[in-house]
Amino acid sequence: MEENTTALNPQQEAETKQETSQAGQQEVQNEIQNQESEQPQPQETEQEKPRTEEEDIDLADKSLNGILSLFGQMIEEGDQQKLYKYAEPIKAAFYKVLRKEKIASGNFVEVGAEPQDNPFEEVEKAFKDMFARYKSSRANFNQELQAHKEENLAEKQDIINSINGLLEKAEDMNHTMPAFRELQARWKASGNVPPEKAREIWDQYNRAVERFYDFLKINKEFRDLDFKKNYELKTELCQKAELLVEDKDPVRAFNELQKLHEEWKEIGPVSKEQREEIWERFKVSTSKINKRHQDFFTNLKEEQKANLKAKTELCELAEQIADTQAAESNQWNSLSKKMENLQLKWKSIGFASKKDNQKIYERFRAACDKFYNAKRDFYAKFKDVMQENLRKKEDLCSQAEKIKDSEDWKKATDQLINLQNVWKTIGPVARKQSDAVWKRFRAACDEFFARKAKHFGDEGEKFEENLAAKKAMIEEIKAYQPKGGDADKEALNEFISKWNSIGFVPFKEKEGLQKEYDAALNLHFAAIRDLDSERKMGRIRRLISDAKNPGKSDRGIRTEREKLLNKFRKLETDIATLENNMGFFAKSKNADKLIEDIKSKIAAGKEELKSLEQKIKMIDKEF
């Protein structure tokens, strides 16, 4: 806002007209703002209110009685500004706590339900009565405030009339100037007026002050001293405003600037030569602070929109989790972790706008409550399920303990493997019982497989004999002299049959020995072996060709594919079972030999899987 204009004649009035007009507008605007501040405003939530040093009321952890006590104390104190500031937040906090306690006690009644005894009726009635007292006192306060504003209006009109009356007196400066200063002090001390009269009364006052300075015969020496003092005061205000430009808090800087403008308005004019220069200096700082203030709230609005969008996305994810029908404990644990991560993200996001923040928070809280209520219900029922799972696993332990001493190695192995597969299908048991029942089952399995490994470990010497026999046979194959025709094919079949009749060899020798064997066969019988493989693939090609001929059915090739697929799936299952069973063997020397044999079977099975896959892909490519 700009300073009041001082002039000694009509010519000076024209030179200062713009500055005076702007000052009047600013004064009226401030007056209107003061009036509007008395009007009821939408209540802010605790999370959304700007934090100030005056805010020392924490409602977060208060009980119903605590809130009643606090509200009653504030009403007794009678501080209407404080009551107006906190009444609605207290009301919201009271009903929020009341609703939670009703739900917790099982006394919450949905709309439309049959009425029931309400243990909270008395405390709720006490709060309603207390709030009605507040509304009544507020209404009385507003009535008194309005009456006071009317009195202030009359006071300001009397001041204006008195200033105009000074112009009609012929008294000298010693009498006129003090009277004028006294009237200025009265104007400054007078309070707010009705907002619809604010602009008019300020315009009247400003015109009266202008006339006083324009037409009163002020002593030049006194006027210059007054101008000098006013210039010094306004220079100090400029310096303070320039410091506010550097304040990192744009809101605080803006509020402090308003106080400086109030002081500026109350300081008299400066000399004509300095008037524009001092005002421009003050206006530069004012413009910078106002722009920072405007930019802050513009950015805040965009930030609040982004925060609302981010929180809405979290609400949607939380609602998806809350609607998930989990049937197992590990699923609930996984969902709980996801929900906790969402809550951490929520805390990292700032506030949305005042009108949206509470709504979006209640939506997110509702999804979280729904999820954790469902989880609590699940675990209440899950105790019975885990007890039944424990009974089933104890039964498997009993069966394994009966089998562990068997010497029917094949049958007992199949039975234990079956028990292991059944074990996997049974759900979890309580954590304090899980380790004990697993160790019992594992001990029975380990004992059997350790005995089995020891039994078959005694055949180690036989493995060495088989190794020597197979090496001798490789040398025999290498020494073979091809005869051509069926004689070579018969010799190949004889070699293969004899090789297969020789038992196991040490596992560490098996892979290298097999390579030597294949190399020896390929030395003389590569063409015959390739032909045999080609014949197998040739059969599939013939079935494909027949299926493509017009009038021919594709039943044959589809049956062949089904056989290959079934064989592929069975082989996959067998390999998975073998891989799983290795985990049940005890870590002993004899057990290691058995594990190596299983690994060999797994490797052979995977090679056969590749062959089957090649044949299936060949069929699928054509059909």
| Distance set, CA 449 to CA 35, 396, 400, 436, 581 (Å) | 92, 17, 12, 20, 10
pLDDT value at residue 11? 30
pLDDT surpassing 70 at residue 537: no
Average pLDDT, the chain: 76
* Amino acid present at 353: S
For residue 235, the number of C-alpha atoms closer than 13 Å in the C-beta half-sphere is: 8
Tens of pLDDT, residue by residue over 396-440, are 899 999 988 888 888 888 888 898 889 988 887 877 888 898 998
pLDDT value at residue 479? 83
For tokens 């700009």, name the residue. Answer: 2
User: How far is Cα of residue 541 from the mean position of the Cα atoms in its chain?
Assistant: 59
How far is it, in rounded angstroms, from Cα 524 to Cα 482?
7
Token pair of 149 as six digits: 């504003």
Mean pLDDT (whole number) for 612-620: 75
pLDDT value at residue 478? 83
Instruction: Return the C-alpha torsion angle 278, 279, 281, 287, nearest 10.
Output: 170
Q: Give 117-181 as a DSSP string.
A: --TTHHHHHHHHHHHHHHHHHHHHHHHHHHHHHHHHHHHHHHHHHHHHHHTT----HHHHHHHHH
Q: Name the phi and psi angles at 532, rounded to 5.
A: -65, -40
How far is it, in rounded angstroms, from Cα 219 to Cα 331?
92
For residue 582, the number of C-alpha atoms closer than 13 Å in the C-beta half-sphere is: 16
Most confident range, picked from 1-15, 282-296, 347-361: 282-296
Domain ranges (residues) in the chain: 220-323, 329-444, 553-623
Q: Name the phi and psi angles at 118, rounded to 5.
A: -120, 100
pLDDT surpassing 90 at residue 238: yes
For residue 112, the number of C-alpha atoms closer than 13 Å in the C-beta half-sphere is: 0
CB atoms within 10 A of CB 170: 6
How far is it, in rounded angstroms, from Cα 126 to Cα 107?
19
Q: Give 389-444 as a DSSP string.
A: HHHHHHHHHHHHHHHTT---HHHHHHHHHHHHHHHHHS----HHHHHHHHHHHHHH
The structure's pTM equals 0.31
| 456 — pLDDT class (breaks 50, 70, 90) | low
Mean pLDDT (whole number) for 75-91: 83
| 493 — pLDDT class (breaks 50, 70, 90) | confident
**In this structure, is the dihedral angle defined by the CA atoms of residues 383, 388, 390 and 391, taken in order, positive or negative?**
positive
Instruction: Return the C-alpha torsion angle 271, 276, 282, 283, nearest 10.
Output: 150
How far is it, in rounded angstroms, from Cα 299 to Cα 305?
10
pLDDT value at residue 236? 93
Q: Determine contact, residues 91/131, Cβ cutoff 8 Å.
A: yes
pLDDT surpassing 50 at residue 152: yes
pLDDT value at residue 287? 93
Cα angle 187, 189, 192 (rounded to 5 degrees) comes to: 80
